[in-house]
Amino acid sequence: MTKNIVLLLIVFLGMCPAFSLSGYEQVVNPDEGIYLNYGDLVELSKVYKPHGKLLLKLEKQLNNPILKQPPKVYADFLHGIVLGDFFRVASWNIERGFNEDKIETIFLSGDASSINLLRQASIGELQEEINILSKASIVVLNEADIGLPRTNYENIVEKLANSLKMGYVFGIEFIEVDPYQLGIRKFSEKERTFLEPQALQQLDNLDKEKYHGLHGTAILSKYTILDAKVIRLPDCYNWYKEESDKLSALELVRREAADKVFSSKVLTELRHGGRIAVITDLLLPNGQRITVVATHLENRCLPQCRVNQFEFLLNRLRNIKNPLILAGDLNTTGTDASPVSLKKEVLKKVKDPESIAKQAILSLTPFSLAQNLILNSVNKLRQFKDPTTFNIPIVLPNKERKIFDLLEEFRFNDGGAFDVRGVPQKTHNGYYALLSNSNERELKGYKPTFELERHLGIARYKLDWFFVKPLNLKNPNDKKGSYAYAPHFGRTLDLLNKKFGERISDHDPITIDIPVNEPLNVKE
């Protein structure tokens, strides 16, 4: 009888348009979610601080999530011998959706045959990864476009959601108003020689009716969506002001060193908006309410500002009582990727007390240059693929560590904690340490989710993360505590990202499994 009542409730909620059960922001139907027209975007491209009706339309666009319910009620869990009933969550930064068709193929085809891999691997290993991703019931997407020429004006989120028979919530990070993409400014003939044919075709065939300029973060779900909101995070980089300033000589040198003046896929990134978190409550088939939080922290700033963004977000999650899954691209590189200038590089050193103290200490020793080189090398090795390594101020600093300290110390108002446990039996490959139940580790550090080509090789980073609040966990390290709604078998799926011979996205997807009851192997 109880199960029937739950199913009826799910059916009823699935038929309803959008909810505001927790004081969440207004949500809108995707067909009504485009407020800014082409003329508005042209005006926004000209002003740093819009006002009047234009400002109201911009704020409405940025603060209201777009929501669409799944097409049917999904009333089943996955089932395994160890976990019993469980559901799977995936997270993937899809690089704007450049290869949406290939992403769709991976989710739907389930076929690993006739594949040209970049490195040696068995078809069986690849098939396993495809099977894992294709069974996800919840998918977090970073960097998704709606109505941009670079992705053929597609609504990337809706296209993927429709293919996977999922509903979705979409939050807008940025309104793209680059004058070159809008067609109101033209590249010189010399500048056009640096652009790929695909980029030129976009510039020369502008469709003003289809141009919406939306870029953001989404949560796709097979389960009924109860409510949703967007939280705008503190600004760490002013995308409009900084991108509109002329590039300094030092920045031009850096770009020349990369052998390109203009990116092959992004011309420039003049934007209004900023980093966000999308929060939605879902109703599971057993009647349990869960919260999913998708976020994307700033890359163009020093680590401390990412820490500030993360702390800001955590403080707005305190009142949540049900299980919670936080996922997304935290940009935990340990670096600042913003355009450089000589003045900025000097100020960076002057404003950093640890840098000043380090230079003072080294200046007192006869081998300061050699010592500095050794310390820097040791520190890079320590942090290789592991942004959670301990921070040793001045000598061996790791300023990304503060994010993970905040996570471990954080308590919800109901006493609940995030799960940072590492138990061999609950990891994918047996490597265990901090957060290894939810994020795949290797012998050294975490399995990276992002690769960046450099002159001296390829830099690998763990940028994409899962953090989970289980149903009843008060101590984040309690290995003998409850594992209901706790993360299991966190994986990074790097093989399927190379399924077509080259990377589908510059990030690899990650997954976790969440049991809805106590799994069998509770003990460590």
**CATH code: domain of residue 153:** 3.60.10.10
Of 7-16, 47-56, 101-110, 500-509, minimum mean pLDDT range: 7-16
In a domain, 32, yes or no: yes
**Full 3-state SS string of 18-79:** CCCCCCCCCCECHHHCCCCCHHHHHHHCCCCCCCHHHHHHHHHHHHCCEEECCCCCCCCCEE
Q: How many CB atoms lie within 10 A of CB 203?
A: 17
User: Does residue 516 or residue 451 have the better pLDDT?
Assistant: 516
Gap between the Cα atoms of 121 and 305, Å rounded: 39
Instruction: List the beta bridge partners of residue 87.
Output: 514
- Which tokens sit at 400? 């990304």
pLDDT grade for 12, boundaries at 50, 70 and 90: very low
Question: Under DSSP, is residue 215 helix (H, G, I), strand (E, B) or coil?
Answer: strand
- Which tokens sit at 331? 């940009």
pLDDT grade for 16, boundaries at 50, 70 and 90: very low
In a domain, 348, yes or no: yes
pLDDT grade for 454, boundaries at 50, 70 and 90: low
Say what the pLDDT of residue 283 is: 97
In this structure, which amino acid lies at residue 162? Answer: N
Reply yes or no on whether the pLDDT at 522 is more than 80: no
Q: How many domains does the chain have?
A: 1
Say what the pLDDT of residue 17 is: 41
Distance of CA 387 to the CA centre of its chain: 16
Residue among 233, 133, 177 at smallest CA distance from 44:
177
Q: What percentage of the chain carries pLDDT values higher than 70?
A: 76
Q: What angle do CA 473, 467, 304 make, to 5 degrees?
A: 120
Asked if 442 contacts 457 with a C-beta cutoff of 8 angstroms, the reply is no
In a domain, 523, yes or no: no
User: What would the pLDDT profile of 132-161 be if each residue is shown by its tens digit?
Assistant: 999 999 999 999 999 998 899 999 999 999
In a domain, 262, yes or no: yes
Asked if 265 contacts 200 with a C-beta cutoff of 8 angstroms, the reply is no
By DSSP bridging, strand 324-329 and strand 289-296 are parallel
**DSSP code, position 450:** E
pLDDT grade for 20, boundaries at 50, 70 and 90: very low
User: What would the pLDDT profile of 195-248 be if each residue is shown by its tens digit?
Assistant: 666 667 777 778 999 999 999 999 999 999 999 999 999 999 999 988 877 545
In a domain, 301, yes or no: yes
Residue among 452, 440, 449, 437 at smallest CA distance from 485:
437
Reply yes or no on whether the pLDDT at 27 is more than 60: yes
Reply yes or no on whether the pLDDT at 329 is more than 50: yes
Asked if 83 contacts 20 with a C-beta cutoff of 8 angstroms, the reply is no
Gap between the Cα atoms of 207 and 295, Å rounded: 31
Burial of 429 (0-12, 13-18, 19+ CB in 10 A): middle
Asked if 222 contacts 70 with a C-beta cutoff of 8 angstroms, the reply is yes
In a domain, 415, yes or no: yes
In a domain, 479, yes or no: yes
Range of the domain at 22: 2-515
Of 42-46, 60-64, 382-386, 479-483, minimum mean pLDDT range: 382-386
Distance of CA 67 to the CA centre of its chain: 19
Say what the pLDDT of residue 293 is: 98
Q: How many CB atoms lie within 10 A of CB 340?
A: 16
Say what the pLDDT of residue 194 is: 62
pLDDT grade for 186, boundaries at 50, 70 and 90: confident
Say what the pLDDT of residue 23 is: 41
- Which tokens sit at 29? 């139907």
Which of 326-340, 343-357, 375-389, 460-474 has maximum average pLDDT? Answer: 460-474
Say what the pLDDT of residue 185 is: 80
pLDDT grade for 123, boundaries at 50, 70 and 90: confident
User: What would the pLDDT profile of 72-113 be if each residue is shown by its tens digit?
Assistant: 877 799 999 999 999 999 999 999 999 999 999 999 876 555
pLDDT grade for 115, boundaries at 50, 70 and 90: very low
Please give the average per-residue pLDDT across 313-337, as a whole number: 93
Residue among 448, 310, 328, 326 at smallest CA distance from 387:
448
Please give the average per-residue pLDDT across 243-267, as a whole number: 51
Of 43-52, 85-94, 166-175, 337-346, minimum mean pLDDT range: 337-346
Asked if 310 contacts 277 with a C-beta cutoff of 8 angstroms, the reply is no
By DSSP bridging, strand 464-469 and strand 488-492 are unpaired
Gap between the Cα atoms of 264 and 246, Å rounded: 20
Residues 6+ apart with CB under 8 A from 271: 174, 175, 176, 177, 178, 215, 239, 240, 243
In a domain, 404, yes or no: yes
pLDDT grade for 173, boundaries at 50, 70 and 90: very high
